[in-house]
Amino acid sequence: MDSKPIAGLGRPPRGARYRVLGVRDGRVCPERLLEMGMIPGAEFTVTKVAPLGDPIEVDLGGSRLCLRRSEAADLTFERVG
């Protein structure tokens, strides 16, 4: 898969796997995301997309989190699967 850094998740397809790279320049990552384990190096899979395209459900180390795409926009990711 391409491993170019991407900013935010865009419209992630179900089943896609991402790795968190870091916080985008000039942005401040919502602290809650860090505290819930969305830290650089963490990998997660998109398991569900809500009916209206947002929020999404991800599997992060065995636990499921629901997050809004707009909140992931402050992070950079790479697609790993």
Partner 1 sequence: MARTVAQRGLTAALVGVPNSGKTSLFNALTGSSQKVGNYAGVTVEKVSGRTQGPDGPITIIDVPGLYSMRPVSADETVAAEVIVGRAGEARPDVLVCVVDATNLERNLYFLSQLSGAGIPTVVALTMVDVVQRDRNSLDVDRLAGELGVEVVPVVAHRGQGLLELKAAIGRAVEGRRLLDIDLGFPAAVREPVFRLHDRLARAGVDVTRSEVREALLDEGAALNDKLANLPEMVEAFVEERARLLGAHADGRTIDAQTRYAWAGRIRREVLATSGQLDRRTTDAIDRVLTHRVFGLVVFVGLMYLVFQSIYTLAAPLMDIIEAGVGAVKGWVSPMLAGAPLLQSAVVDGVLTGMGAVLVFLPQICILFALIAVLEGTGYLARAAFLMDRLLGWCGLSGRAFIPLLSSFACAVPGIMAARVMPDARSRLLTVLVAPLMSCSARLPVYVLLIGAFVEPVYGAWWAGAALFAMHFVGLAFAVPVVALLNRRVARGRRLPFVLELPRYQWPRVRDVVLTVVSRAKVFLTTAGTIILVMSIAIWALLSFPRSEAMEARYRADYRALAATQRGDVTEENYLQMRSTRDSYLGQFGRAIEPVFVPAGFDWRLTTAILAAFPAREVVVSAMGIIFDLGGEADEESPDLRQALKQATWPDGRPLVTVWTAASLMVFFALCAQCMATLAAIQRETGSWKWAAFAFGYMTLLAYVAAVAVYQLGSRLGAGG
Q: Name the site residues for partner 1 (rule: CB under 8 A).
A: 22-23, 25, 28-37, 39-42, 47-55, 57, 61-68, 71
61 token code pair? 């180390």
Of 45 and 79, which has the nearer Cβ to partner 1?
A: 45
CB of 34 to partner 1, least distance (A): 4
Angular region, 60: left φ>0, alpha ψ -120 to 50, beta rest: beta
CB of 38 to partner 1, least distance (A): 8
CB of 70 to partner 1, least distance (A): 9
Where are the extended beta strands (E) located within the chain? Answer: 6-7, 17-23, 43-49, 56-60, 63-67, 75-79
